[in-house]
């Protein structure tokens, strides 16, 4: 099992889905890296990580576009070939720890920082969930 920790901003509002009778909150984190090349040119790369939180529907109200977030969870890499026969990779994560920063949407009162630990699951549940991410 590989544990991943990602900090960044949400690319869109979280989506709540029902998967086999379980509520899944799906969202994507964009993590930026800025650096200078040897020539002094400023470059920026962005990595997108698709995330899923299982059976915590109350979190959807905290997860909106642009919000700063730190998430930790189990990593899963999905390789595929797109419609133009180019190899692609998705980075997916089943979130086990979530930290949300900043204020909520306009007219919404939430704490400046919200931290939640998602209850741990057995190895069998983890294996089943990692192969059944809702993307």
Q: What is the CATH number of the domain that holds 35?
A: 2.40.50.140
DSSP letter, residue 59: G
| SS3 call for 121 | coil
Indicate if the pLDDT at residue 113 is higher than 90.
Answer: no
Q: Which of 49, 50, 60 is nearest to 17 (CA)?
A: 60
Query: Lowest mean pLDDT: which of 68-72, 103-107, 122-126?
Result: 122-126
Strands 113-117 and 42-54: unpaired
Q: Is residue 111 included in any domain, yes or no?
A: yes
The DSSP bridge partners found for residue 89 are: 79
The predicted pLDDT at position 9 comes to 96
Residue 1 banded pLDDT, cuts 50, 70, 90: confident
Q: How does the average pLDDT of the chain come out, rounded? A: 83
Higher-pLDDT residue of 128, 21: 21
Q: Which domain holds residue 95?
A: 3-130
pLDDT for 62-99, tens place per residue? 999 999 999 999 999 999 999 999 999 999 999 999 99
Task: Give how many domains the chain has, as a whole number.
Answer: 1
The predicted pLDDT at position 102 comes to 81
Q: Is residue 67 included in any domain, yes or no?
A: yes
| SS3 call for 57 | helix
In whole angstroms, give the CA distance from residue 90 to residue 8: 17
29 touches 23 (CB < 8 A): no
The predicted pLDDT at position 107 comes to 46
Q: Is residue 89 included in any domain, yes or no?
A: yes
30 touches 2 (CB < 8 A): no
Q: Is residue 135 included in any domain, yes or no?
A: no
The predicted pLDDT at position 123 comes to 44
């Amino acid at each position: 099992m590989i544990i991943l920790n990602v900090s960044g901003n949400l690319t869109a509002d979280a989506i709540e889905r029902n998967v086999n009778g379980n509520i899944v909150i799906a969202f994507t984190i964009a993590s930026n890296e800025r650096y200078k090349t040897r020539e002094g040119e400023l470059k920026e790369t962005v990595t997108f990580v698709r995330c899923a939180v299982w059976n915590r529907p109350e979190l959807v109200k905290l997860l909106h576009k642009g919000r700063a977030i730190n998430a930790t969870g189990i990593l899963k890499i999905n390789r595929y070939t797109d419609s133009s026969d180019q190899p692609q990779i998705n980075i997916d994560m089943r979130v086990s720890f979530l930290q949300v920063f900043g204020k909520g949407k306009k007219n919404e009162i939430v704490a400046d920082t919200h931290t939640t630990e998602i209850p741990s699951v057995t190895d069998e549940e983890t294996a089943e969930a990692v192969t059944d991410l809702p993307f």
